Structure formats: C-alpha cells, structure tokens
Structure 1
Amino acid sequence: MVKKSGPAYRCGECGVVVAKWFGRCPECQAWGTIEEVAAARPALAKVVAGAPSSPARPIAEVDVESARAQKTGVPELDRVLGGGLVPGAVVLLAGEPGVGKSTLLLEVAHQWVARDDSPGRALYITGEESAGQVRLRAERTGNVHGEMFLASESDLATVIGHVDAVKPSMLVIDSVQTMSSPAVESSAGGVTQVRAVTAALVALAKERSLPVILVGHVTKEGSVAGPRVLEHLVDVVLHFEGDKYSSLRLVRGVKNRFGPADEVGCFEMVEEGIVGVPDPSGIFMSNRVEGVPGTAVTVITEGKRALLGEVQALVSSTEAPMPRRAVNGLEASRVAKVLAVLERRASLPLGKSDVFTATVGGMRIIEPAGDLALAMAVASAKLDIPLPNDMVIIGEVGLAGEVRRVGSVGRRLAEAARLGFKRALIPPDSGRLSAEIKATVVPDLRTLVDTLSKRSG
C-alpha cells in the first residue's frame, strides 16, 4: 500500500522546505513567509521534445543591436546601469522612504521623452499616491512633458491595459509592493503577491522589449523588502542611499547583468528636484576646516570612481567607567578594531577617553582603505597635532599594527593630485604611482604615531 504524503511547505524568503506550517521560518527567522506547495511527484511519463521557437545559431551570428543600451538622459544613472537601459531589462530601484526615488524616476522619465532622439512615450504608474500628487511634484521639479503618461493604479491587469493603450517605450512602477495580481489570493505587498507581480512584469518586459523600472521598499535592516527571489528575477538591482540630513544621494549598483555591478552614481537634492553630481569629491571636501587636529583625508573607490573623503575624530578625557564610542558614517566594528590597534600596537592611551568619529558631507566609508586615515585622525586628535593640509592617507590597518596593501592606489593618487594634494601616505608594494604627488610608504602604524608624537614634543 502506497503511503500518501502530506502537504509540503516552503519559505518564500530562503526557500527551505518544512513538513508543517510555521508562522516564523525556522531557517531565516522571517515572519509570514511559509506557504503550502504541491508535493513533489515522480515523473510518470517521458518528457516529449518540443519544437524550438527559433533555431540555435553560432554565437557570432547572433544580432546584438536589439540589446544595445539606450541612454536615459541622466548621465549619473547611465554610469551605474552600464550605459543606459537595455530593451526588455527590468531594473529594481530600492531605497528608504523619502530618499527621493520617485523624484529621480520622474526626472528619468522626463529626460527619456524630452531628448531629440527619444524612443517614444514613458508611462509612470503610481500605486502609493494619487495622480494629482505626482503631477504637483512634476510641476515643482520641471518634469512635465506631453509624452509622459501617468496613471494611479494598483491592479496588475489594469496596468497591463494601460501599457496596451499607451504603448510606451519605458514603464515605471512605483512601487512593486503596492501592486496586486488578480490571479493570486493574498494581500498586496505579501511574499506571494510580490513574486507573482514581478514575474508577470518580467515576462511583459521580455515579450515586448520594454524596459521596466520597479521601485522597491526596504526593510529596517536596509535590504530589499519581499522574497529573495525578487532580486533574482530582475536584471538590475540598484540601491538609492542618502542621509535625510544631507543633500547628497548615491545610487549604488548591487546586481547588473548588462554592466559592472559595483558602480555608483552621485546626485544632489535641490529645491528644483534632483541633479547629477559629476565631481562628488568637491561636495565631500567643501567647507573643509584646515589646520585643526583630528581631521584626515582619504581616497576610497566606488567602482571605477575614486572619491576623496574627510574623516574627523574628537578625543576627550572622561572619568566615566565606560568611555563613549560614537560613530557616524563609518563601520562601527572597523572603528573599534582601529582603536584597539592604536592602543595595543601603537601605545596610544585611549582607555580613559571618549572617542567620536565621523565622515563629512554624508559620505559613508566602509572600505578598508580608510583605516589608516581613521587611525591618524584619532592620533592627531589625541596628541592635539594637526596633519598637513595637502596630504591624503590610504591604507588598511591589520591587527598586528601593519599597514596592508589596497587596490588601485595609482588611480586614488591621481584623483588626489587633481584636487591639489601634494603628499600621500601609502602602504608598501603599492605598484606604479603618479609622479604628480609625493608618496611616502608607511610600514606600520606605530612608526607613524611615533613620528607624530615627536612633533608634539
């Protein structure tokens, strides 16, 4: 007698299969993601080969013109996309509420239809606001055009009807979490709905060679809300980042099937909307106070772009049993490591001092190449000795106090020289360097701190 197998359940977030339903996934700890799936059955019939829709051809004979990227008219976004929007590509733009995703996409839609070689209309579907609200924002930012079409819808079938009627050359969905498919019996924004809506929009994009941009929500941890399969379904995943107290915004590529996945585009929020910043180092270095202890300049890389950033530190004596460690714009664990290395390997006493560290201009530095600049900013603040104004500091600090090599030192120094810096502290074995800047090799952190201490004596 064949024993009938019971229903199987799968987590829509991590994909783990369990024997019974749980409110919380036992593997990834996500709530409300366990769904019943059809039990796997053995194949009862041999698979019959079907006729291919098109014959296979040598790869050299495949036409590539249909896959050429078309510029959006926003150069900073084109940089991250790898040249522009590819026909049939599905782009997911995720970011925190209020960071400016809708403002950016209104600008993209306007530039798409306003240029001389425009490929056609743009359709903007909003599921979070009324059409009147979006129209007011478009007027405020100067993004009103006769070839831009707008609809406030949350039903997927109706959205496809708008696509059939307008026949756009670009489709914007704001946001995918507000859309619902009538074929799925669950609330909008749920795991099942998001997966079904995204799969349908991907199929629509591929069938009609229509580039689609989806707006996505993020969780409080900063990851894209919804099932993990959402990021696998789309072709490009972009994160829109920015501090609400700063006008700077960054579009960071996370996944890109058509170009580099580590590029970054820089924008600035102004009263008229959002504008691209082709030279973001100028924003990061603006209003810099020179000759003050506790400041150091480093150069980080974002994709092919080298960016200068300023690291600031303030060290203050305290009688509290637990000194404060405040971090802003830096990785807290990396700051704790650098402080421990300074105290243990460079004999810099920090155990009875509050230490405040921060970046300037809204920049976030998580790259190891900023370790040495952070260490020297803290040492400068502790010893009350300012660092030279024309010096950049590049290098990773190891647990033994050694300064470790980082990549693209030559490109970093070329960017520093372009902005007027004359000297640099760099790790050993940094390769071929630019002759426009005087570079000094630093073997370890203790040597550098001792040199700075002698200046104070």
Structure 2
Amino acid sequence: DSIQTMYNPELQTAAGSVGQVRECTAKLLQFAKSTGIAVLLIGHVTKDGTIAGPRLLEHMVDVVLQFEGDRSYSFRVLRALKNRFGSTSESGIFSMEAGGLQEVANPAGLFLEDRDGEAAGSVIGACMEGNRPIMAEFQALVAKTPYGMPRRTAVGFDYNRVNMLLAILEKRFGLDFGIYDAYVNVVGGMKVNEPAADLAVAAALVSSYRNRPLPKGILVFGEVGLTGEVRRVSAPERRIMDGVNLGFSKFIVPDSKLQLPSVKAQIVRVKTLEQAIAAMFG
C-alpha cells in the first residue's frame, strides 16, 4: 500500500497527514539503516505527476524513482528524480507484454516502427531520455479555424513552447497563424520535455503550413531561441551516431564542434531557424 495510507497508532492524527507520513517514513528509514535492507516506499502522485502529500517525504529518502506511462500504449519509462548516491541521468524503458514488463534494450528507434513514407507535418527529432537517445516522431497539423479564436493543442509536448514557436515563425518567416488552428503531437504517447525538440516541432509546423513533407532520412534537433537562433544541446554526437545506425542520412544540428568518427551522412550545422528551414526544404 502507499505510504500515505500507513498509520502509526502512537500519533493521534489521521493517516496521510504530515505527522503520520514523517513518523512512518522515519521508522522505515531507521529499519533500513540499522539492518542494511533496502526498503521501497510506494507513494501516490497527483494529476500533475508530483508526489502527493508533504514534500518532506522526498527530502527524507535517498532515491526517488518515477514510473510513468500512457494507458493507451505498452511502453513505460522509469526515471530517477533524485539519487543521493548516484546519477539521475539514467532511465529505463520497458514494454508491457503478456508475460509482464520487458526491458527495451535499444530504445532509439522504438517509436519509429510504424512509420512508413513521407507526410506533411511529420518530422523526426532526436531526444534524450536520461542518457539514452530516442528518435521521436513529431507531428503537426495546421488547419484553418472555423471559429474566431484559433486553437492551440499539444500532446506530449509543452503547450507554452508551442505558442512560443508559433510566435517565432510568425515574426521570422511572416507565416500567419492567426487564422489557423495548430495541433502538435508526439507519436507513441511519449512526453518530451527537453528544449532540443524545438527545431523538430518548428519544422513540423512549417511543413504542415506549406503542405510540404520533409525528404526521407532527415533527423533534426536543436533549441530555438526567441530571436530565431538555434542553440546547442547536450550529447549531439550520441544523437547523430544513433541516427546513423538507424539509417538517417542527413542531420540538421546546431552549429558546434562535433567529435565524430567518419560517418556516411551529411551533417548540416545551422545557426538560425532560417538556415535550418532552408536546409530541410531547399
């Protein structure tokens, strides 16, 4: 059961209160430290994905692990939000099969298995899940709005960043999104939080707006600033090498020094969003 439902009869407070959570956790910590036995506490989470109840629970324990996924998909991600004795950059990706959870050893191309052909508004971006590169498909749909106020919807991506990218495209490219609805989706139920996906989402929006698909074999990543510059991101070499192994032949990446072995791929370094869009669509 969860720690929020555990009860210590020595306290005259209800289960789940600050005092109960603190005392129950303290007794379990004392047991773990004195015996050397690892203790796992299960905690409820809120709709926002944060641990329910008092924040002191996170401060008392040594490690906080979050196991998340979408009920519509079979994939689950295990993340370390806190680790007092190790790195929090590691993550585990699992697939729910008939016999239980199975580890996905090479998740880089996990979300590209059902992708076939080119389509306007679809762009592949290289994201990092912990320290593992994952190639995710970003889809955008730009359609004329039947209402006075255009709609903005984002699934698996930050809604505020979508609005920011739309404003940048309007300012830098003169694209008028004021009469268009804009929808952004990350295929496979994946949730992407890192800014390196900005360039892929912006390219998907331009592709759908112009109704022009990207040529096959292009992989993009990079953070987009408010002035339209494309900023560096972490681990570009790992993203590129995993992309090469998956068959990508052209990479649109931020302008930075890359320590790469010789690869049979075209690597285009860009400094601005204008250069990136020109390199993708010609």
TM-score range, shorter chain: over 0.9
CA distance in 2, matches of 1:219, 1:208: 32
CA distance in 2, matches of 1:214, 1:311: 36
How big is the shift at 1:430?
Answer: 4.1
Selected match of 2:108 from 271, 281, 284: 281
Q: Is the aligned partner of 1:404 residue 2:231?
A: yes
Q: Is the aligned partner of 1:294 residue 2:121?
A: yes
Q: Is the aligned partner of 1:209 residue 2:36?
A: yes
Aligned to 1:236: 63
Selected match of 2:205 from 378, 381, 384: 378
Aligned to 1:305: 132
Aligned to 1:257: 84
CA distance in 1, matches of 2:122, 2:221: 14
Question: Equivalent residue of 1:212, what SS?
Answer: coil
Aligned to 2:50: 223
CA distance in 2, matches of 1:438, 1:183: 68
1:58-457 residue pairs with structure 2 within 5 A? 174-436=1-263, 437-450=265-278
| Gap change, CA 1:305 and 1:448, over 3 Å in 2 | closer
* 1:163-193 Cα shifts (integer Å, max 9, x gaps): xxxxxxxxxxx32122111221112222211
How big is the shift at 1:452?
Answer: 5.8
Taking every aligned residue pair, what percent have the same amino acid on both sides?
Answer: 43
Task: Decide whether the 8 Å contact of 2:124 with 2:137 is kept in 1.
Answer: yes
CA distance in 1, matches of 2:130, 2:273: 28
Task: Decide whether the 8 Å contact of 1:406 with 1:430 is kept in 2.
Answer: no
How big is the shift at 1:221?
Answer: 2.2
Task: Decide whether the 8 Å contact of 1:299 with 1:393 is kept in 2.
Answer: yes
How big is the shift at 1:365?
Answer: 1.0
Question: Equivalent residue of 1:281, what SS?
Answer: coil
CA distance in 2, matches of 1:289, 1:323: 30
Task: Decide whether the 8 Å contact of 1:395 with 1:404 is kept in 2.
Answer: yes
The number of residue pairs the alignment matches comes to: 281
* 1:57-107 Cα shifts (integer Å, max 9, x gaps): xxxxxxxxxxxxxxxxxxxxxxxxxxxxxxxxxxxxxxxxxxxxxxxxxxx
* 1:366-389 Cα shifts (integer Å, max 9, x gaps): 111110011101111111111122
How big is the shift at 1:318?
Answer: 2.3
Computing the radius of gyration from Cα coordinates, the structure with the larger value is 1
Q: Which amino acid aligns with 2:105?
A: P
CA distance in 2, matches of 1:343, 1:290: 29
CA distance in 2, matches of 1:434, 1:390: 20
The normalised TM-score by structure 1 is: 0.59
CA distance in 1, matches of 2:143, 2:174: 17
* 1:311-345 Cα shifts (integer Å, max 9, x gaps): 00111122421111111000111111111101111
Question: Equivalent residue of 1:200, what SS?
Answer: helix
How big is the shift at 1:435?
Answer: 2.7
Question: Equivalent residue of 2:95, what SS?
Answer: strand
CA distance in 2, matches of 1:217, 1:183: 23
CA distance in 2, matches of 1:291, 1:410: 26
How big is the shift at 1:451?
Answer: 5.8
How big is the shift at 1:289?
Answer: 3.0
Q: Which range moves more in the overlay, 374-383 or 188-197?
A: 188-197
How big is the shift at 1:270?
Answer: 2.2
Task: Decide whether the 8 Å contact of 1:346 with 1:445 is kept in 2.
Answer: no
Q: Which amino acid aligns with 1:444?
A: T
Q: Which amino acid aligns with 2:176?
A: P
Question: Equivalent residue of 1:177, what SS?
Answer: helix
After TM superposition, which residue ranges in structure 1, 4 or more long, deviate above 6 angstroms?
Answer: none
| Gap change, CA 1:299 and 1:452, over 3 Å in 2 | closer
How big is the shift at 1:283?
Answer: 2.4
The answer to which structure, 1 or 2, has the higher relative contact order (CA under 8 A, 6+ apart) is 2
Q: Which amino acid aligns with 1:443?
A: K
**Structure 1 gap segments, 5+ residues each:** 1-173
**Structure 2 gap segments, 5+ residues each:** none
CA distance in 1, matches of 2:207, 2:10: 63
Task: Decide whether the 8 Å contact of 2:268 with 2:279 is kept in 1.
Answer: no
Task: Decide whether the 8 Å contact of 1:194 with 1:230 is kept in 2.
Answer: yes
Question: Equivalent residue of 1:424, what SS?
Answer: strand
Q: Which amino acid aligns with 2:68?
A: E
CA distance in 2, matches of 1:271, 1:341: 46
Question: Equivalent residue of 1:241, what SS?
Answer: strand
What is the RMSD computed on CA atoms of the aligned residues?
1.5
How big is the shift at 1:450?
Answer: 4.8
CA distance in 1, matches of 2:216, 2:118: 7
Task: Decide whether the 8 Å contact of 1:329 with 1:358 is kept in 2.
Answer: yes
* 1:9-52 Cα shifts (integer Å, max 9, x gaps): xxxxxxxxxxxxxxxxxxxxxxxxxxxxxxxxxxxxxxxxxxxx
1:3-42 residue pairs with structure 2 within 5 A? none
